[in-house]
Amino acid sequence: MSSHRAAAPSPDEVLTAALDIGGTKIAGALVTPDGELVHRVRRATPARESAEVLLGAVYEVVSGLAAHPSWEHVRALGIGSAGPVDLTHGTVSPVNIPAWRDFPLAASVEAHPALAHRRVVLAGDAVAMTAAEHRHGAARGYGDALCLVVSTGVGAGLVLNGRVHHGLTGNAGHFGHISVDFDGEPCPCGARGCLEGIASGTAITRHALSLGWRSSPASDASPDAAAVAAAARAGETAALAAFDRAARALAAGIAATAALVEIDLAVVGGGVAQSGEVLFGPLEHHLRRYATMPFLRRLRAVPAELGSDAGLVGAAVLAEVGAPVEVGALVDGSR
């Protein structure tokens, strides 16, 4: 299936609303039980504005969804938000949205008049992507898996024993902040040598530039991982080295996670994964070097299937099942 095409719901089909909130966009959709997007609303995130302005933008998206004729069939709304999140209190503190620190996003969204008598469920965006790939994508049928988002940052979620694993506060799977280089560069999180600082699209571009790669003079766009990938496909040494370094870091992190919780599948999505064989070729090579224990021999990395819609589809999946934390279940800051 593909979640990219719009579908007309049957007159009595129950739908789920979903929000995907990040540093650049706030997306919303009505989603069928099969993961099809019926109606979309999107606006830019006013990331440098006040908390109130940001919430107003979220409300605009919710109102746009509620204006659709199928809204009467919506029973719940799921939110996948950039993190960290705190599901115990229903709050978010996205690194790329400075005005939201311990912001009560779940309760604030539930207060929208259109959501009266509808369940609201909050999750981290990478966990939402994991729920989508597990229900409808590349991790279908797997009881245990790791699902990665490799883009301007690196996030992930875990499927354990057939269920998406959220952790105590909803932050399980913070894959980008596994340290893979003890003497590496300082990370904004406070640690050193974090995987995100080596394998993200930003890090790939930065490393390629440090090795002497330069984007085409004919290009008006700023250098990015897509341009580095194009150069790598053309055989440019610096670009190939930057992707090899990123793939090695990802392989080390995937193998370490697999050794800890015994998974045999890693699903890799996000913008960097669109690089294709430039990433997956060296990733497979390095995975074989790090995943050497007998119980890891089946471990493999595969591309995600749902693309940029995964966050919306996954937020809807989590809202359908009422997990991990419903706003109505939050009483005096406890579950």
Q: Where in the chain is the domain with CATH 3.30.420.40?
A: 15-127+310-329, 140-304
Percentage with pLDDT > 90 across the chain? 82
**Which pLDDT value is given to residue 324?**
61
How many C-beta atoms surround the C-beta of residue 11 within 10 A?
A: 7
- Report residue 305 as tokens: 């299937």
Closest by CA position to 130, among listed 265, 297, 282: 265
How far apart, in whole angstroms, are the C-alpha atoms of residue 200 and residue 302?
17
DSSP label of 192? B
CATH class of 15-127+310-329: alpha beta
Strand pairing of 74-81 and 300-303? unpaired
Are 171 and 191 in contact by the 8 Å Cβ rule? The answer is no
> Alpha carbon 202 to chain centroid distance?
16
What's the Cα-to-Cα distance from 332 to each of 78, 89, 229, 235, rounded to whole Å? 22, 9, 49, 58
**Which pLDDT value is given to residue 9?**
54
- For the stretch 151-171, pLDDT in tens is 988 999 999 999 999 988 888
- Domain covering 140-304 assigned CATH 3.30.470.10 in the classification: no
Query: What is this structure's pTM?
Result: 0.89
pLDDT of residue 297 exceeding 50, the answer is yes
**pLDDT classification of 12: cutoffs 50, 70, 90:** low
Are 316 and 38 in contact by the 8 Å Cβ rule? The answer is no
Closest by CA position to 84, among listed 172, 213, 200, 191: 172
